[in-house]
Structure 1
């Protein structure tokens, strides 16, 4: 669907050339939601703006539906861009136009007849949940409503691809979740391929099928969201995963357990899918009769089902009993990590 081959982007500045992206190759499958995560300055915005040629690559090729956009100019490029919608962090609405007029604007540019434009705008207003707000101006809308206008406008020309440039970064958590839910509905109901960039792992976890981690102009890790969460390889990926899997509360509770118990082990269990719904702790106790303290736990949801993290203190003065418990849990398909050894077991 979307393929980037050996993309490099160099900006010429007064202090010399700056290499924003370095030999990036990436495939996005048709109909998936692909997330690109990275810290500020990693090159995220440059990368997403290359997909619709708002930025020209210094080298490499960009193909969307097997069409090499990097070889197009003028009218041909503008025609292909109509197949790629884009929404922005700060909405980029026309403040002198109403909601309906903002949504209609790209259809005007495309030369769509007025009657057809009006019908399409009505459809889109309903699609994004803004019925009754067609005559409102952006200044009369909340942040979430403004972004819904931005989404409707991006969908006006029936694009095949939707690019989201930090689309929820300016929104509060509740509004963010409502916008993410809308994007998932659009993906499922319209079969739209979505590429989004963000610095928030919560966004990736909530709606993406796959993710690429961008650091200093390189894609350093890529894979299915649940695989990246369960087995992060790079240090930067581990930092992002901690945003949603761990917390200051989590760390302080572990420290307290370690300082007050001289036996046993603290273990982190990571599980997904149907396993997240199973009574793991009950099964451990039933099979081992060990003392088990639940230190911290969280179950969240991804596009591929539930994803859970559970931190336990397994207490025993017999090493082999703890190892038996760990083996039992691993036999259930749960990833087990020993976080800290307590005092040596005599």
Structure 2
């Protein structure tokens, strides 16, 4: 477990003080993939550097396992860092070293013998999917391959925790997905605790179990990814969710125009969890009530904990039948309903 208690980091800029991380408390469970998301300037990167004490906190504590990182001596900190791997946005590879030599570097520093070092390097090369590229230099690799080297290097000393600082931000979408799939596989195979720092909600959606949202150095919202996605509370979280759902200004304009039509009555917004939930509900409504259903718009997205989505539907028919259908929907525990006609 990682336990952060009242963590604060202040920087002095001339006579002014900038608080990058502000009285932050958080617990991350062993073996989970935990996401920290926020926009530029939220304090994310400073926070993750505090976890392995690349930055020294102004106050507060970080405990990883049974070690309070913030109170360790320099010698003990060096030893503790062997249990904490880290990968970076821009890879931070040694350009004069080959793939296998980059991966071997932390083992050399740790004093691991040549034979054992070579064996471990080959295990990691195979694990991250770089078999056959052992003797290539970073300049000969794609962005995704460079990040795979970075991941292998971070795993060299068999850490219990892997910190990822914007690890996919420099990659294209297809490569990002392949790296995220690799991290999920590593998490399952090795039981690692992974902390993902990102400004991309897609990353959180795809692989994280829980998420914390940072703004101005503080955590403003946290919880299970599916819960945070389906019921965002803070404006910054709602903005992130809107982005990952693919909502655009064109979508908003289209819906505004739709609702300005006076014939569009009895329109409902349905929030559902589970891919088949909305399909089953629409089928049941059509069978149980003498009404027509017009699906105006719908979107669904996947998370590690399941699917969720929103569906706009219009009920057409006798008002008495419509009222019964609305009551039926309201009684369903797996679907949340809002009447949205004339709200725009």
TM-score range, shorter-chain basis?
over 0.9
* Structure 2 partner of 1:49: 49
Q: Return the alpha-carbon distance in structure 2 between the equivalents of residues 152 and 175 of structure 1.
A: 16
Q: Residues 19-60 of structure 1: CA distance to partner in whole angstroms, max 9, x if unpaired?
A: 111111000000000000101000000111111111111000
1:231-250 to 2 correspondences below 5 Å: 231-248=231-248, 249-250=250-251
Q: Work out whether 1:86 is the aligned partner of 2:79.
A: no
Deviations 1:83-113 (A, max 9, x none): 0000011111111111111111111111111
Residue in 2 that maps onto 1:13: 13
User: What does residue 195 of structure 1 align with?
Assistant: 195
Take 2:63 and 2:266, find their aligned partners in 1: how far apart are those partners?
Answer: 51
Shift of 1:306: 2.2
Q: In structure 2, what is the Cα distance between the partners aligned to 1:190 and 1:37?
A: 24
For 2:208 and 2:140, the matched residues in 1 are separated by 31
Aligned to 1:115: 115
3-state SS, counterpart of residue 196 of structure 2: strand
Find the counterpart in structure 1 of residue 300 from structure 2: 299
Q: Aligned partners of 2:66 and 2:303: how far apart in 1?
A: 30
Q: Deviations over 1:138-175 (max 9, x none)?
A: 11111111111111111010000000001111111111
The aligned counterpart of 1:260 is 261
**Aligned residue runs from structure 1 range 1-346, under 5 A:** 1-248=1-248, 249-273=250-274, 275-276=276-277, 278-316=279-317, 318=319, 321-338=321-338, 340-342=340-342
Give the secondary-structure state (helix, strand or coil) at the position aligned to 2:8: strand
Provide the rounded CA distance (Å) in 2 between the counterparts of 1:308 and 1:177: 21
Alpha-carbon distance in 1 for matches of 2:278, 2:124:
38
**In 2 relative to 1, CA 134–326 (structure 1 residues): closer, same or farther, beyond 3 Å?**
farther
2: CA distance, partners of 1:271 / 1:9: 40
The range that moved more, 110-119 or 10-19, is: 10-19
Query: How many equivalent residue pairs?
Result: 343
Q: Contact 1:104/1:153 (CA < 8 Å) preserved in 2?
A: yes
Secondary structure of the 1:60 match is strand
Contiguous gaps of at least 5 residues in structure 1: none
Q: Do the aligned partners of residues 163 and 330 (structure 1) sit closer, same or farther apart at CA in structure 2, a change above 3 Å counting?
A: farther
Answer yes or no: is the 8 Å Cα contact 1:245–1:309 preserved in 2.
Answer: no
Deviation at 1:128, TM superposition (A): 0.6
Deviation at 1:262, TM superposition (A): 2.1
Distance 1:282 1:49, change over 3 A: same
Q: TM-score, normalised by structure 2?
A: 0.94
CA distance in 2, matches of 1:315, 1:43: 50
Unaligned runs of 5+ in 2: none
Shift of 1:64: 0.1
Partner Cα distance (2:277, 2:100) in 1:
44
Secondary structure at the aligned position of 2:340 is classed as strand
- Following the alignment from structure 1 to structure 2, what is the Cα–Cα distance between the partners of residues 168 and 98? 22
CA gap 1:305/1:202 in 2 versus in 1, 3 angstroms: same
Does structure 2 retain, via aligned residues, the 8 Å contact 1:276–1:308?
A: no
Cα distance, 1:119 vs structure 2: 0.6
Q: Report deviation, 1:266.
A: 3.2
Q: Secondary structure at the match of 1:279?
A: helix
| RMSD (Å), alpha carbons | 2.0
**2:263 alignment partner, SS class:** coil
